[in-house]
Structure 1
Amino acid sequence: MIGHVSIGRSFYHCISYCLEDKKELSEQRKLQLESQDHLIHKGRAEVLEYNKCFGNKYELTQQFNDVRKLSRRVEKPMLHLTLRLAPTDRLTKEQFREAGRECAKVFGIEDNQYICVLHKDTNERHIHIAANRVGFNGRVASDSNSYKRMADLCRRLEKKYGLQEILSPKAFLSPKDRLLPRYDKRKEKLKADINQALKLTSSYLTFENYMKDLGYKILKGRGVSFIDDKKVNIKGSEVGFSLMKIENILCSKQKYMKRNAGEEKGENKSSYSVPDFYDIKEQSNEKQSHSLNKSQKAVIDGLSSGIGSLLNPEYQSDYIDTQLQPNSQKKKKKAALRR
């Protein structure tokens, strides 16, 4: 479950968004999308609860503004809370209503005006809570530590309803919990692509071309970085494949294949050229095929077992942390002064 918190000046715009369909979609487009994705775009909003308020968007706005006058100091009286499920998670309407009430309690608005609205136009079912931060007693609900409160609430609701668990942002975790590994789809994909590239290539040049063919831009210096189609830069060392490790794997593959080929054919090892199963077609702009035939798969399987654990990623940084450099310089200065 993912939560979102925001505050604003306008009751009307927030309430309108929660209660109405998306304005950029025509009626015909809403019906078309409903038949395509089996979601509800026409009449997407269902009010689960009116708390100390009632009516349409105009009546709700007027009621919220009337109570807001009890505290003229607050500049942003509108509180907007969102609780969104993972695509595979499901809650009943009553469970959503209970989650909304618990959310209102966490943010100190359980006795204030608010509406809880269920949206059904996405695969991730979610609720919106549009609330008045000003209570009937004139007090204003605090927005301090709002992100931490939301993160704690989401983790608690995940356990209560058996939902998919998501790690909170590291800023809100204890030092012990910050050491837990965090699943990153982007890095996992890069790791798998590098592993596959190392199996199909035997030189750094063909390795680079394979990765470029998959849509990555490569920056090589003291280390190696990969930039994907979303312009996200990830160091190879972050996914367990530093430049040194990649070069060691390719070098080991060449030695292994030369040795085996020489033993089988009785040829001079130095005259044997190592084949690449990923072919570079310099004069063709067509996308390369990465499929292998049975004989190539057999060689790859034997090669993988031959070089063993080399293909497993290792998490060792291939660069010097710049944060360590000032400390080392200070130590040198102190040592020089002592002399």
Structure 2
Amino acid sequence: MIAKVITGKSFGGCVRYLLEREQSIVLDSSGVRDYDIKAIIADLNAQRKLRPQLSNAVGHTALSWSNEDRDKLTVEKMVEHAKEYMNKMGIKDTQYLTVLHTDKQHPHLHIVYNRVDNNGKTLDNFNHWHKSRKICREMTERYGYHFGKGKAQVNRQALRGNARIRYAIHDALKSTLAKAKSWKQVETSLREKDINIHYKYRSGTKDVQGVSFEKDGVKFKGSAIDRKFSYNGIDRQLKENNRLEMQLAPTPKRDFLAKQIREVLGVNTGQQHHHDASHGSGLLDILLQPEYTAPEPDSLDDAEKRRRKRKKRKNTQSRGISR
């Protein structure tokens, strides 16, 4: 179960889009005369006049399920899920219309509601992208519905409005962060795709605590595009890219050490040694091994035994000469 959340200005355009097709059925409604398109539009516009300064009064959510869930769903269950979703989203005490569409393979319905509630107050939509994803995930788990395979499976060509822009930013960020190692590189790469970055600073300081991305005049918080695109998430990815580059970068230290050892052994100078050249190369290879450690000296006990043995042999020889 997923939700596409949209806000708009025209109830007329939204309602006509939902109902002027053969494959649409009104499942549920409140506060509107749902038997006629013109009457629905008139009722919604009458209530929005309670707060005329609110331009984006149209709330529109498309709830979709995987085609694999078709056998688990009934029309009654879809209506119940729509009501539960609205309640959790805080869409209460306002006009709404729930419409089933059967023009796609997967089960889905649309909810259009008035952001001006029955008391003339505005329904808050702060952080509604993130809130909606959390609710859908919780409901999907609780009812045992199929989890999709992520944003890679979304049909970009079918997207419209803010959803199309959001996914365009998502895809641009994904490709940019695969190789960027600094925020400056991120800014440059996104600017080439007509995407601007806006930083949010902690009050009275220069400490960044958030980031937003803007394209075609529409702005999204990084976490609203994807959790990994929050400021902290992107910063961690940039640091990880730098760490991996450092690991893969060639280090001249070992080559320099090899050159010094070859010069000492005369491998590169053509000098002749009393030992075989292959012996020198073998020694060089051993010394250059990262695991190489010099052999430990003999223990003091063994060294002392050899010293006494030599001394005894020397004394014996001395006594023989004196005779």
Question: Which interval holds the TM-score relative to the shorter structure?
Answer: 0.3 to 0.5
Find the structure with the greater CA-based Rg: 2
Query: What TM-score, normalized to structure 2?
Result: 0.46
